[in-house]
Chains A and B, each alone.
Chain A
């Protein structure tokens, strides 16, 4: 880099460009958008969990002040509309297809969860729509709610024709080899694992504004989406029969998603449909309770885990049987999250020769469940890392050393796991060693003793994780039942005066792409970061892309940008060669300049850009004018970030309150573009994982009522719950993408819950506690202590 220049390229912690508009209130969110003459829509939702709709009397409501229309499931059926489709349908273990029952956008004769959409009320103001909704008289014939995951399979059918309330029954791995491992095992470890249901709670609730232009027959939808073009494809082709060319979908600034804003929900589809049907633009914004009852929930698994060890405490086999609660209807990626995003991670960072897993996806009268930060990988990591701790204790080994003993060795890569995935590269011991050093692991017992003198229980918990992200190679996706491709697009458009727009098919809703993707451009082209604009979220502007989730934007989207930049440079070299009257091979590009090797003859990037658009001295025989290049990149493999997180807790046994007193982590994300952004991602992921482990629970009662449907009862993690977290990185570059990057967005949420629970159990084990479920609330911790003491007294 030339002396005196500020580093804005790869590896620099450049301050985020987008923060200015967010901090001064100039973000442009969907609820900020208003269209002339718009109607407001309010959705009447079912107050009961499972019932047939006997009748809907909307006469009085339709006459209420300001009401334009009231639509119900009858109108949806009359117009022949489709419902939100599944993006991925894994095959059952017997070779049959999974069940995909109808998913109407307004309930068709039956409601299946509290919150299910019964009617849409359109009025001049939101208050008028809400008041009119209160006048709608719905008669329900209630049936007992089915909320318990274990007994749902033996309960009455929630969807006609779907037996045992089972969407799918899937398996992966080698059952015979695994059974054999257990037959021969020296030690068998059995652990029951519950992964609790959580609710995403993005800061911005979902919203939509839809407008149909009778002049040109085009629809416009502003929506809080992580993937606007996918939304356009699903609503257009599968739900409302709108040609893509007549449909613009824009996801403007979006305040967090974490997966919950991937899916197409009934609300935005109803808005689009109504905008034409009623001849007026339609606006909808959820309030927080609607977010609790409407946004797809996360996790909610019950697993039985069995681990086989040989006499040297090496793992020889693993079996996991899982029930995954998918809720009342199938959300877009509900079926892949507990199967191919979960089962394939069951080897973790360990060398396990035989693995078998069976997963059943179950329907209950609860909110739909789908991918939420980590999507299947937190579930896999949690059960593995809890089992490793239980196993270590059972055989009398230190939990760190038991893990180390079973790590995949550094020279074993590429490593083919027993659950389909092949890890390209990795080195797990340095991550463990570094984390142990950071938290001073070897002196932990002294700290435990000091805490005990103060009447507190101190514990330490490790989590060594790996995850598979950077999704995904399309051919693999297709072979496994996926119905989408997972490539990414990038258009690098150089302007005549040398400024650059990068149009990406990814989306940024907190990830910082406005800055980090611009850094890629600065790094390759040597331009100033202020000269670069990243454009995302508008289907009228960008090429087709799959959006942002699964920690894919940098690995897949960034690589597409990198390749498009390479094409720009390649073309620039030919232009420069022509202008400098040199051979192509003699042209170098470095620090923003094209030079003839070994001379001081050069052209700046800006001069080349101008030349491309004012092509007077230009190789017309070889090139077209202009300087704009496109790349669609389909990744060659998943990427495999890994790391070690270690948590230290102090528990007050008198109240059961768990305090996090220290947190360290050492992660391998491959190359880092912006270390500050990476650290922020890790902090946020850890916070969400700690939230699941200690605070958050979506609690349903037996009537299918969500008891935690507001912040009065649903406990979010807060800043004062956390110590200063120490975050470090080691790098083994990804072997199969140009940037050597792996992605980091979900790793914190994947790694953290087992670190917390392992620490809690470690803290309480002197009192006789051997296990605790998430969230480890004060009541639960106190109760566990009481139960253990009572048992000890017996």
Chain B
């Protein structure tokens, strides 16, 4: 069974790129373009992802609001989240949101790979 990762990112190109890169890693990637859609995807998913890659600034429901909502659902709260953002003080934000890891934009391939490995386990192709 491949690892499952949920990508929550509003920018279409970045979202699709992330999905493609993750598929290259041999990961099964789900995607959502805002927090609201992410919650729906999680609710409908037959198997929970081992990691959520979460953008901060998004329309409809942003990263913070998603995280708050996520922590209210006992079945979702344990899914680890990694923040993706260009914010300079991303570390401070992540502490407030109870998130353990951040990836600064512009994204680097190895940051992505090591994040997946940290939370989901070794990658088949890595």
Partners in one complex: no
